[in-house]
């Protein structure tokens, strides 16, 4: 009997991504917030979030990512950092850098902020400011980066890469080095939500992808012990899918601005799923027992060829949202996998995108929400 | 282990933004840093517990050898390998005495 109960409770999550708000001054064409955003009036208040942080720590969460939108759009950000740190969480701020004055950084530092992750839309000011849609944004980001490093706080650059800036990868890594960042995340755009609308303009060519892999490998060898490089390659060009979220409901969870608890930031794109809300149910219950979190947990849900595949515990069948986006079925194997029939559909889609000789399609920016 | 062996003179320390945490849910100590959570066994936790920004690797090995009544040379090699691995991941900083 105790064994049965134990088996039904999944291991605790390590990380929680708190989308504090969907408001953001930028208008990136690959915005990862859902196409339908949570309006300001529906955002949870300071006390709601503080309770979520306490529940998360009690559940076993170690790493808290304060994200958005732009988390600095929340005037109570300093209080939220203090509450999270008080709960015993490692507090990571994921920011565009806009809206963070020196005075606010002082307050965040005093509140116990552990780590700053700064998004980068490009390494050249004209690319950065065109992609993000805010003139002068690049210079403000650089000023923030220097201030974070001068304070002794660890800095990660989160460089979002795609067809328009992937050729600048060597310069991007050099910028991280010059700024004194401890870590860089080279994150190639994944095609969900708004990014899927701009796929024809954002999808890197195969040659760009191969060059990026070589650049990362060389930089990792050269900068070992100085700069940690995490790399998310454009997976359409891969042979096997990414291990999305380390497996659905396995290591991390998201809480949306209105308290909706999600297995990943794009999960709301899957039709027919009902997600728990932390305003109504405890986080631990949402994690362990909600139908949404159990829908694709483990290996029982898998169709063939995943179910009998020797890679099923490596990639967990890949990304559910990608299966939905390409094949129209969230329960299908990720079509990136060359062992699955869905790959032909992805290849047809790739063949229809602008080739290396053609100009990339123009990008449709997302309207900034303030 | 690959790479150069660290000198016993080196003084390791946890940089800002990297800290030890007592994970009561999983019942083990864990080292937290940027996007990293390293679950520690009792040996790893004992080593990191000795880092105070003043003690050298040699001094740390000597203290652990005494506490666990183990050969200092063996402990010294383990400590150096463990610290070198974390330094490669920027979870430990190496300074000079």
In tens, the pLDDT along B21-32 reads 999 999 999 999
Give the number of C-alpha atoms closer than 13 A to the C-alpha of residue A194, restricted to the C-beta side.
Answer: 18
Instruction: Confirm whether B57 is domain-assigned.
Output: yes
- Chain A: closest CA distance from residue B69 (Å): 32
Interchain pair B90, A114: CB under 8 A: no
Instruction: Confirm whether B2 is domain-assigned.
Output: no
On the question of pLDDT at A4 being above 70, the answer is no
- Residue B23 near residue B30 (C-beta atoms within 8 A): yes
Set of chain A residues whose Cβ sits within 8 Å of the Cβ of B87: 225
Set of chain A residues whose Cβ sits within 8 Å of the Cβ of B23: 60, 62
Instruction: Confirm whether B8 is domain-assigned.
Output: no
Q: Give me chain A's average pLDDT, please.
A: 94
Give the number of C-alpha atoms closer than 13 A to the C-alpha of residue A24, restricted to the C-beta side.
Answer: 30
Q: What are the structure tokens assigned to B1, written together?
A: 């282990």
Query: Could you tell me which residues come within 8 angstroms of residue A318 by beta carbon, excluding any fewer than 6 positions away?
Result: A240, A241, A242, A243, A244, A333, A334, A336, A337
Is B89 near chain A, with CB under 8 Å? yes
Share of residues in chain A with pLDDT > 90 (%): 91
According to the model, what pLDDT value does residue B97 have? Answer: 67
Confidence of residue A180 (pLDDT cuts 50, 70, 90): very high
Q: Which residues of A300-331 are buried (b: 16+ CB within 10 A; e: fewer)?
A: ebbeeebeebebbeebbbbbbbbbbbbbeebe
Burial class (CB in 10 A: 0-12, 13-18, 19+), A357: exposed
Nearest-angstrom CA–CA distance, A296 and A315: 13
The mean per-residue pLDDT over the stretch A199-214 comes to: 95
> Using CB atoms, which residue from A12, A225, A230 is nearest to B25?
A12
Q: Give A233-291 pLDDT, tens digit per residue.
A: 999 999 999 999 999 999 999 999 999 999 999 999 999 999 999 999 999 999 999 99
According to the model, what pLDDT value does residue A35 have? Answer: 82
Mutate to test the interface with A, among B14, B17, B20 (most CBs of A within 10 A): B17
**Strand, coil or helix: what is B11?**
strand
According to the model, what pLDDT value does residue B4 have? Answer: 57
Domain count within chain B: 1
Nearest-angstrom CA–CA distance, A172 and A128: 12
- Residue B8 near residue B88 (C-beta atoms within 8 A): no
Boundaries of domain holding B24: 14-92
Interchain pair B17, A224: CB under 8 A: no
Is A60 near chain B, with CB under 8 Å? yes
Instruction: Confirm whether B5 is domain-assigned.
Output: no
Nearest-angstrom CA–CA distance, A323 and A332: 6
Instruction: Confirm whether B79 is domain-assigned.
Output: yes
Mutate to test the interface with A, among B25, B31, B34 (most CBs of A within 10 A): B34
> Using CB atoms, which residue from B23, B37, B87 is nearest to A225?
B87
Is B91 near chain A, with CB under 8 Å? no
Is B40 near chain A, with CB under 8 Å? no
The crossing angle, in degrees rounded to 10, of helices A169-179 and A137-151 is 40
pTM: 0.94
Confidence of residue A6 (pLDDT cuts 50, 70, 90): very low
Set of chain B residues whose Cβ sits within 8 Å of the Cβ of A115: 17, 33-35
Instruction: Confirm whether B18 is domain-assigned.
Output: yes
* Domain harbouring B24, CATH code: 1.10.10.1150
Instruction: Confirm whether B6 is domain-assigned.
Output: no
Nearest-angstrom CA–CA distance, A116 and A218: 26
Instruction: Confirm whether B7 is domain-assigned.
Output: no
**Strand, coil or helix: what is A261?**
strand
């Amino acid at each position: 009997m105790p064994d049965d109960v134990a088996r039904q409770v999944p291991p605790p999550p390590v990380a929680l991504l708190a989308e504090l708000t969907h408001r953001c001054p930028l208008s990136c064409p690959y915005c990862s917030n859902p196409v339908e955003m949570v309006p300001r009036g529906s955002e949870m208040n300071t006390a709601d979030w503080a309770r979520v942080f306490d529940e998360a720590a009690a559940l076993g969460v170690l790493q808290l990512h304060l994200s958005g939108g732009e988390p600095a759009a929340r005037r109570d950000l300093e209080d939220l950092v203090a509450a999270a740190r008080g709960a015993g969480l490692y507090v990571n701020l994921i920011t565009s850098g806009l809206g963070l004055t020196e005075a606010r950084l002082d307050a965040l530092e005093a509140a116990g902020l552990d780590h700053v992750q700064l998004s980068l839309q490009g390494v050249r000011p004209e690319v950065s400011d065109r992609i993000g849609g805010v003139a002068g944004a690049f210079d403000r980001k650089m000023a923030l980066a220097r201030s974070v490093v001068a304070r002794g706080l660890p800095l990660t650059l989160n460089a979002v890469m795609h067809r328009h800036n992937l050729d600048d990868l060597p310069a991007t890594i050099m910028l991280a080095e010059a700024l004194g960042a401890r870590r860089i995340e080279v994150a190639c755009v994944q095609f969900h939500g708004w990014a899927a609308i701009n796929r024809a303009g954002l999808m890197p060519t195969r040659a760009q992808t191969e060059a990026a892999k070589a650049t990362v490998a060389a930089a990792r060898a050269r900068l070992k012990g100085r700069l940690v490089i995490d790399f998310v390659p454009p997976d359409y060009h891969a042979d096997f899918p990414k291990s999305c979220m380390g497996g659905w409901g396995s290591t991390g969870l998201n809480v949306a601005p209105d308290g909706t608890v999600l297995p990943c930031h794009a999960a709301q794109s899957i039709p027919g799923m009902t997600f728990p809300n932390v305003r109504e149910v405890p986080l631990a219950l949402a994690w362990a027992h909600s139908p949404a979190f159990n829908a694709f947990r483990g290996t029982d849900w898998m169709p063939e060829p995943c179910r009998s595949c020797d890679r099923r515990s490596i990639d967990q069948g890949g990304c559910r949202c990608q299966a939905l986006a390409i094949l129209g079925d969230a329960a299908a194997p990720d079509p990136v996998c060359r062992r699955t029939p869905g790959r032909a559909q992805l290849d047809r889609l790739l063949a229809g995108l602008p080739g290396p000789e053609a100009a990339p399609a123009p990008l449709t920016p997302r309207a900034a929400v303030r | 282990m690959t790479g150069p062996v660290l000198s016993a003179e080196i003084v390791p320390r946890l940089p800002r933004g990297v800290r030890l945490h007592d994970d009561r849910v999983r019942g083990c100590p864990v080292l937290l840093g940027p996007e990293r959570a390293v679950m520690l066994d009792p040996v790893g936790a004992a080593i990191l517990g000795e880092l105070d920004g003043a003690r050298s690797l040699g001094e740390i090995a000597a203290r652990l050898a005494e506490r666990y009544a183990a050969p200092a040379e063996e402990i010294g090699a383990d400590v150096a390998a463990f610290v070198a691995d974390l330094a490669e991941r920027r979870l430990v900083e190496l300074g000079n005495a």
